[in-house]
Structure 1
Amino acid sequence: MRKNPYVAVWPVVLIALFGLRSAAVRAAEEEGFKPLFDGKTLAGWEGDPRFWSVQDGVIVGSTDETRTPHNTFLCTTKTYKNFILKLEFRLRNHNSGVQIRSKRLDDFIVAGYQADIAEKRYTGILYEERGRGILADVNPEEVAKHVKPGDWNEYTITCDGPRIRLELNGFTTVDYEEKSPEGAKEGIIALQLHAGPPMKVEFRNIRIKELP
């Protein structure tokens, strides 16, 4: 029986077309976003080199070899006002967070809004570092259903005027409206290493879309 050469080709063509379509869909979803991390260097960021590095395309913060006496941060050199920030994180032990609309105080010490990251209780809350503390709490049992412990998780953080919304793996944990004049309207973005026991946190695919 003569074999049809196109039978073997069509699956390959369909897979290729599906891949192109998927890429197009992803591009459309990410329209307007710009990378904050080039995957190779810490260009555009400033932090203590004892704690922060790039390994295999990932920003790594670790206190395994050197302990920090206080919370320390990797900070953007640029400030941002209204935006949508997307990133992936993976935590091993302890506590971390993503600072938004924040300010540097001294020696990579930061104050301001924080999308919290923790092993259990605090992931998904809105906290104010060196400020008012917890601004918007969550139901930890409900949030835990959407967290992948020890694996990569995605944060989507939207700052638009007085509103700050946090989404964890597509689940909205906080939709907060700032009513206090203390609330910052603009500032840096920063990644946290928490003082205390040895820990490691990783970040990748950091991108931002600035809003009017």
Structure 2
Amino acid sequence: MSNSFLEAIKSRRSIYALDKNVSLSQDEIEEIVKEAIKHSPSSFNSQTSRAVLLFGENHDKLWNIVEDTLRAIVPAENFASTEGKIASFRAGYGTVLFFEDTDVIKGYQKDFTLYAENFPIWSEQATGIAQHSVWVALADAGIGASLQHYNPLIDDAVKAEWNLPESWNLRAQMPFGNIASEPGEKEFMADEERFRVFK
């Protein structure tokens, strides 16, 4: 069975060996990110997901913030591996920051009180779908990426640096770039352990 969507999903991997030699323009990457998030589903079509796309000095600045933040809390004797990992993200071409807008979530909680406790859960599902959509779309365009979670440690510094709304809650960071080295073979648990099918 041939399915181009499934093939695109299979092409999405965590790529840590990145460089800046991408073949797409910044405008083309911007369009991919926008379209992927715009067409990702959310409960009640609430569209809670937000994104910030960083290129050039802004991309480097983010990973400098991460490095400085972690240097202050990670013991010096253990920092070399952390520094190396951050350098691999900085070596990429750009970063997508994923946020959820808490003001929108609160508005839906007020308007639909019966489901109030579910909207934060549905928001997390929405951001997960948006992140996956962007990741697959980038992979389908030949761009490697990985998903990182330095929030909430860097939240305040990120909001201050790029003057972002207080209601935007940082959920993940996705460094991306040219695939400098292919990842190893991916291992999967047995289908019998994950799935139940009743016919």
Q: TM-score category by the smaller chain?
A: under 0.3
Q: Which has the higher contact order (CA 8 A, sep 6+)?
A: 2
TM-score by length of 2: 0.25
Larger radius of gyration: 1
Q: Which has the higher helix share?
A: 2
